[in-house]
Amino acid sequence: MNALDGPSYEDVALARERIAPLVHDTPVATCHALDRACNAAVFLKCENLQRTGSFKFRGASNAIACLTKAERERGVITHSSGNHAQALALAARLHGVSATVVVPEDAPRAKREAAAGYGARVVPCPPTQADRRDTTRRLIEESGAVFVDSHDAVAVIAGQATAAVDLIESAGPFDVLLTPVGGGGLLSGTTIAAETLVPSAQVIGCEPEGADDAYRSLRDGKRIAEVQSRTIADGLKTSLGERTFRILSEHGTRIVLVSDAQIVSAMRFVWERMKLVIEPSSAIAVAPLLFGTLPVGGKRVGVILSGGNVSLDAAFAAMYPGLGSR
Amino acid sequence: MNALDGPSYEDVALARERIAPLVHDTPVATCHALDRACNAAVFLKCENLQRTGSFKFRGASNAIACLTKAERERGVITHSSGNHAQALALAARLHGVSATVVVPEDAPRAKREAAAGYGARVVPCPPTQADRRDTTRRLIEESGAVFVDSHDAVAVIAGQATAAVDLIESAGPFDVLLTPVGGGGLLSGTTIAAETLVPSAQVIGCEPEGADDAYRSLRDGKRIAEVQSRTIADGLKTSLGERTFRILSEHGTRIVLVSDAQIVSAMRFVWERMKLVIEPSSAIAVAPLLFGTLPVGGKRVGVILSGGNVSLDAAFAAMYPGLGSR
């Protein structure tokens, strides 16, 4: 037993029971045009339709469900570019726990506002990882709140893993499972779920070329803790954590890199053909199928569409000038 | 028996059997924020996720399934601002029938291209109703193709009615049913379905203020065959047909008018909160719930989200300059 061990599959199964009363049973979508594009059978788990608009609600709900009474009374705190912040805010409210979220100033407005809308105290900070941590540390010292990490906490990883469990249960088995990778919570959880449920499946993380710390960390066997990220996938700017790096290293999880242009094309494909609003961080896991970067011919492929929180200000202003702004 | 009689409920039930192997069983969505906004329980039938991106695939599929062998060999033809064109194109292809669609030049590019993508011959025409009819008549004289009207054919109305039947079966009963109204095929079909399945429900058509022919026709008891339409809801510029006018008149179906600004707000709400891409012609049936134009407090409300075919060119160019265009 190591302090950096991930959750076991039993922990994932427990998380699933714990959060079942709260999470949406999101649909699994299919698309003829996508299947044709990659000559495979693709099943997409619509976590953009999850509460708070992303899978992050699973991990946050499990983390809060695991707190002791004394911890609940202290309240919870996190830093997040957005989706984990919203997720923790709602999960906390549903458990009657107060929440503080530290959000970088460059996070999409829609994500910041949503966290506040769920009743959390939103504290802005400069956009670097170091600033996020410093601001959070200061607030913890002041308030005694319990920190719920966005990706490296065991309870959070176990919660994120439940998306893959649901997907496999309703549409499995799979030969390939694709998820985005930022901090690595979803990818680690999916790896752990797959190990037990579809042991022969290849689990692959999709990462922006402009934020390729996971790719380089796993290739070199050494975690890059800070990355100068340049990508439109705002949810994937976080580096792997110590625990997620360890889980992914041990399992030999593979990473594919995706350009921003491919992310936008895949995002547009999903909006246009599947009528689903997904964010860039989700489209990244569709891109390798559309552009042939990943040969999957004849295979059964599962994809986690991680979220749909994207600011629509520019889109509506452009589509309906004079009508589209609020 | 009158030449303008609508389909009976038995015709609708037969249509449902006929098209069952082809149509998607689209999900029914709910949204806490929408329920709160109108203090009701709202269930939205996601026909934006129907094949070809709209409910029109139901009516077109039923119309083609009803053709004789000799008629199938002649091929089919229609004029449509877009969704019926796509729907007929795919339904024809799936039955091995050739299709010609006359599409006004001002129809969204995405809709025109999709019809061609499904293998139909696309013939552009000037944007008035008269031009659409003239061009179509000329082509019928040349080719002998069978005309499949977008809204006034019995088989088409029976097919469109199946959306409401599915919705009522999976989430009914309802006190109120809302659909958009353009040519009146969906609204007539919904009225006929409701008459048998939820006879106490109020069926209401939602029409753009800038294309209010159905509202005025039903109010004055006299069909307005041509309307100078000014609305962003491109799918709702058609006037009621003789048959749909008769069905709606006989049933006393009510119409509510919606402004373009309300349509855009409702559309944005559904994209942002429900993560579903819907077109303006669908958002119109959500707007009366969001803006309190229709008091539905404490009621069970069914809405048909009719389609999701909207050009994303401007949206992606604005969201991702340099990346967003194809």
The string of pLDDT tens digits covering residues B241-299 is 999 999 999 999 999 999 999 999 999 999 999 999 999 999 999 999 999 999 999 99
Look up the ipTM and state it.
0.93
Residue B226 has pLDDT above 90, yes or no: no
Asked whether residue A44 falls in the same domain as residue A108, the answer is no
Return the higher-pLDDT residue of B82 and B248: B248
Asked whether residue A239 falls in the same domain as residue A291, the answer is yes
Q: Is residue A83 part of a domain?
A: yes
Of A265, A275, A317, the CB nearest to B53: A275
Q: Is residue B196 part of a domain?
A: yes
CB-based contact B53 A318, cutoff 8 Å? no
Sequence-distant (≥ 6) Cβ neighbours of residue A243 within 8 angstroms: A4, A5, A6, A152, A153, A154, A157, A188
pLDDT of residue B225: 87
Asked whether residue B129 falls in the same domain as residue B243, the answer is no
pLDDT of residue A324: 59
Asked whether residue B38 falls in the same domain as residue B173, the answer is yes
pLDDT of residue B31: 95
| Last-in-domain residue among B90, B123, B147 | B147
Q: Is residue B1 part of a domain?
A: no
Contacts of A260 in chain B (CB under 8 A): 320, 323
Sequence-distant (≥ 6) Cβ neighbours of residue A152 within 8 angstroms: A183, A184, A185, A241, A242, A243, A244
* Mean pLDDT value across chain B: 94
The neighbouring-strand residues paired with B46 are B305
pLDDT of residue B27: 94
CB of A31 within 8 Å of a chain B CB? The answer is no
pLDDT band at B158 (very low <50, low <70, confident <90, very high): very high
Query: Do residues A8 and A148 touch, judged by C-beta distance below 8 A?
Result: no
Q: Is residue A164 part of a domain?
A: yes
Half-sphere exposure of B176 (CA within 13 A, CB side): 27
Closest CA to A281 of A25, A137, A131, A82: A82
Asked whether residue A226 falls in the same domain as residue A300, the answer is yes
pLDDT of residue B324: 59
CB-based contact B308 A275, cutoff 8 Å? yes
pLDDT of residue B267: 98
Residues of chain A with pLDDT under 70: 1, 324-326
Peptide bond into B173 cis (omega under 30): yes
pLDDT of residue A229: 85
- The mean pLDDT value for B96-114 works out to 87
- The CATH number for A207's domain is 3.40.50.1100
Count of structural domains, chain B = 2
Asked whether residue B65 falls in the same domain as residue B210, the answer is no
Q: Residues 68 to 87 of B: which have CB under 8 A from any A CB? A: none
pLDDT of residue A42: 98
Sequence-distant (≥ 6) Cβ neighbours of residue A297 within 8 angstroms: A38, A39, A40
Residue B81 has pLDDT above 80, yes or no: no
**Rounded to a whole number, what is the distance in angstroms from the first to the last CA of chain B?**
54
Asked whether residue B81 falls in the same domain as residue B110, the answer is yes
Report the alpha-carbon distance of residue A14 to residue A159 in Å, rounded: 9
Contacts of A268 in chain B (CB under 8 A): 312, 316, 324, 326
CB-based contact B48 A261, cutoff 8 Å? no
pLDDT band at B1 (very low <50, low <70, confident <90, very high): low
Q: Is residue A155 part of a domain?
A: no
Q: Is residue B197 part of a domain?
A: yes
Q: Is residue A320 part of a domain?
A: no
Q: Is residue B152 part of a domain?
A: no
CB-based contact B110 A272, cutoff 8 Å? yes
Interface test with B, best of A22, A275, A278, A291 (most B CBs within 10 A): A275
Contacts of B308 in chain A (CB under 8 A): 275
Of B268, B316, B324, the CB nearest to A316: B268
**Rounded to a whole number, what is the distance in angstroms from the first to the last CA of chain A?**
54
Asked whether residue A112 falls in the same domain as residue A126, the answer is yes
Which range, of A159-173, A202-216, B70-84, B109-123, averages the lowest pLDDT? Answer: B109-123
Give the rounded percent of residues in chain B with a pLDDT score beyond 70: 99
Query: Do residues A109 and A312 touch, judged by C-beta distance below 8 A?
Result: no
| Last-in-domain residue among A147, A181, A212 | A147
Asked whether residue A190 falls in the same domain as residue A303, the answer is yes
A213-259 pLDDT, tens per residue? 999 999 999 999 877 889 999 889 889 999 999 999 999 999 999 99
Structure tokens at B125: 């025409």
Asked whether residue A168 falls in the same domain as residue A286, the answer is yes
- The mean pLDDT value for B132-141 works out to 94
Amino acid at B21: P
Report the alpha-carbon distance of residue A191 to residue A254 in Å, rounded: 10
**Structural domain boundaries, residue A196:** 9-51+160-313
Closest CA to B165 of B66, B306, B302, B22: B302
pLDDT of residue B130: 87
Amino acid at A192: I
Helices (H), A7-82: 9-19, 32-38, 56-65, 69-74
Asked whether residue B104 falls in the same domain as residue B240, the answer is no
Interface test with B, best of A22, A209, A282, A323 (most B CBs within 10 A): A323
Distances (CA, A) of B43 to B30, B35, B166, B257: 5, 9, 12, 21
CB-based contact A316 B315, cutoff 8 Å? yes
Q: Residues 219 to 278 of B: which have CB under 8 A from any A CB? A: 232, 260-261, 264-265, 268, 271-272, 274-278
Asked whether residue A301 falls in the same domain as residue A172, the answer is yes
**Cβ-based neighbour number of residue A96 at 10 Å:** 9
pLDDT of residue B44: 98
pLDDT of residue B235: 85
Residue B326 has pLDDT above 70, yes or no: no
The pTM of this model reads 0.94
Structure tokens at B95: 């039955």
Which letter does DSSP use for residue B54 in this model?
Answer: B
| Last-in-domain residue among A97, A113, A147 | A147
pLDDT band at B51 (very low <50, low <70, confident <90, very high): very high
CB-based contact A318 B320, cutoff 8 Å? no
CB of A36 within 8 Å of a chain B CB? The answer is no
A10-38 pLDDT, tens per residue? 999 999 999 999 999 999 999 999 999 99
Contacts of A27 in chain B (CB under 8 A): 27
pLDDT of residue B325: 53
